[in-house]
Amino acid sequence: MSFLKKYGFYFLLLGVLSDFLTPYILGIFYPGLNQMTMVMSVFGDVASPVRGAFLVWSVVSGVLFVLALPAIYQSAFEQSRTLAILLVSAIGLYGIGDCIFTGLFSIDTEQVTWTFSTWVHNIGSGLGYMGFLLFPLFLVLLYRKTGEKTYCKLYLVLLIVSLLSAGVYGLARIPAVNYLPVLDKIGFCQRVSFFFNYLPIVVFGVEGIRRGYEKF
């Protein structure tokens, strides 16, 4: 456990890097893929030519996030045990629900009705994405509690940008409006949203390494 507490933030950054690069690297080997209009979950579809690699890669990314949990908890529990648990839960939900579950339960877009695997995949992704969005909020609350106004303001800005980009992605999934410019590029909207979702995690991870796990 001491090893994970010491190097957990490195695992966190590796998890972000691994998850972020997944669609761009695998997209090279996916003939006909349109990154602008296709969501990332199609890589795990039963008809995907890179399905096997995507499923394994997703699990690996999820494991990296899970390995970071002890360090995340260690960095915050002395200030607030509740917020430490919430931070761990947010990253844990994403790592398990949106990465590991994605790797273990793929979808079939050709199926008219949802299969058990599709249900687990979509519910896990939904819970994981919720953790993704809430992570900077918990950081805002943590740094407000510690009185570090600069970081509090930084994560507040990142939270707002993250929510706005997620809102645009959400609109792109609504048939009534997704014909509009930009919204008709759901793949682009998803990738932009994920980029801004990753930023708070990256900043937190880099700061955790810089501080050397010192107290906040």
Which DSSP string corresponds to the chain? -HHHHHHHHHHHHHHHHHHHHHHHHHGGGSTT--TTTS-GGGGGSTT-TTHHHHHHHHHHHHHHHHHTHHHHHHHHTTT-HHHHHHHHHHHHHIIIIIIIHHHHS---TT-SS--HHHHHHHHHHHHHHHHHHHHHHHHHHHHHHHT-HHHHHHHHHHHHHHHHHHHHHHHHT-TTTTTSTTTT-HHHHHHHHHHHHHHHHHHHHHHHHHHTT---
pLDDT tops 80 at residue 118:
no
For 29-70, what is each residue's pLDDT tens digit?
999 899 999 988 888 887 889 999 999 999 999 999 999 999
pLDDT band at 122 (very low <50, low <70, confident <90, very high): confident
For 15-25, what is each residue's pLDDT tens digit?
999 999 999 99
Q: Under a CB-based contact definition with an 8 Å cutoff, are residues 128 and 99 in contact?
A: yes
pLDDT tops 70 at residue 121:
no
Provide the whole-model pTM.
0.90
